[in-house]
Amino acid sequence: MFYLGAMTLLSLTATRAEEAPTFAPLNPDQPAPAWQPLYQGIDYRFDELAKPRRLRIHTARIDTKAPGIRFFSTPDNGDKPAEVDGRNTVTFLKEFDLELAINGTGFAPVTAEGKPLDVIGLSLSEGKLVSPADHERGNPAFLVSERNEARILPAPFTEQDLAGARTALQGWSGEDGMLLDDGKIVTGNRDLHPRTAIGLSQDARYVYLLVADGRQQGFSEGINLVELAAWMKQQLGCWDAMNLDGGGSSTLVVKAPDGKARILNSIPGGVQRSVANHLGVHALPLPAAP
C-alpha cells in the first residue's frame, strides 16, 4: 500500500531571504508523511502542499548500502540510427525488470516510442558510453561506481572525474542544472514547471529521486528551482542535488506488489512521453511478514 499524507507546517530558512519559500500542508491536521518501504533499500514519501501553491511531490529514497541495490540507465541501440531508441518510463522499467525508474537526461527530438533519439549530454550504462559528456552547457552529472558509490559533479568536470563510473547521466545546464552544491543553493531559476531531480545525502549513502507534479491548475501547479533546492535541502537533507529533464517528461514509476508498473506522479495531459534515457534501480523484495 502506498501512503498519501501531508507534511507539517514548515518555514524554510536559507542564506538569502529570497531563498526561503514557505511550504504548508494541504491538510494541516493530518500527520506528517512517513517514509514507506517499497523494497529493501527503497522508501517512498508523498507530500501534498497548499503553499506556496497547490503542489504534489513524490520522492524515492535509495540506500546505496542495502543488499541488492543496483542502478541502471538506458543502454545504446547498437548499430541503429542516433544513440538510443526512445522509451517511456513504464516501458523502461518493464523491459529491464527494474523495481523503480525515473526519466533522465534531456534529448532530441520529441517523438514516439521506438524512434531513434540522441541524448543531450553524458549517458553511461553498465560501464559503456552511450552518449559523450556535454562540456559546453555547464551540465552537472550524476555518477555511480562499480562499488555503488554515488556522486554529483558540478560543471566543469573532466573525463578523469568519470573514472570508475558504471552508471552516469547529465542534468540540465547553467542555473537550470545544479541545485545544491555542498549544501548551498546555487540556482536562481524561478520558472514553474513539473520537475525531476536527483539528490544526495552529505555522506552520499542515500540517493533521492524526486518528481514534482505541475501544469495542473488547482491540483499541482509546479515548482521553481529555488524552491526545489530549498525543499531538497531542508526536507530531505540533501547536500548535493541536480535538475533533470522536467515538464512533460517527469515520470516516477515503481513495480507494484502485483508486479505491474505503477506511475506514482500525475503527468500533465495524462500521456507518458518517450524519452532518451532513464535512471532505474534494481532492488530485492521486502522480507516476508512473520
Domain contains 23: yes
Q: What is the DSSP letter of 83?
A: S
pLDDT digits (tens, 9 = 90+) for 91-115: 999 999 999 999 999 999 999 999 9
Return the pLDDT at 155.
Answer: 95
Domain assignment present for 4: no
265: cell is 506522479
Q: How many domains does the chain have?
A: 1
Does residue 147 belong to any structural domain of this protein? yes
Show the low-confidence residues of the chain (pLDDT under 70): 1-20
The per-residue pLDDT for 20 is 66
Query: From the centroid of its chain, how far is CA 96?
Result: 18
Whether 290 is covered by a domain: the verdict is no
Could you give the CA distance from residue 283 to residue 63 in angstroms, rounded to a whole number?
10
Q: What pLDDT is recorded for position 289? A: 76
272: nearest Cα among 211, 227, 225: 211
| Backbone angle region of 82, left / alpha / beta, with phi > 0 → left and psi within -120 to 50 → alpha | left
Residue 60 located in a structural domain: yes
Predicted local distance difference test score (pLDDT) of residue 19 = 54
Q: What percent of the chain has pLDDT over 90?
A: 89
Torsion of CA 240, 104, 108, 95, to 10 degrees: 160
For residue 135, tell me if it sits in a domain. yes
The 10s digit of each residue's pLDDT in 221-244 is 999 999 999 999 999 999 999 999
* pLDDT attached to residue 21: 82
Range of the domain at 153: 10-282
Find out whether 275 and 110 touch, Cβ atoms under 8 Å.
Answer: no
Tell me the pTM. 0.93
On whether residue 1 sits in a domain, the answer given is no
Q: Establish if 5 belongs to a structural domain.
A: no
| C-alpha closest to that of 25 among 61, 52, 59, 45 | 52
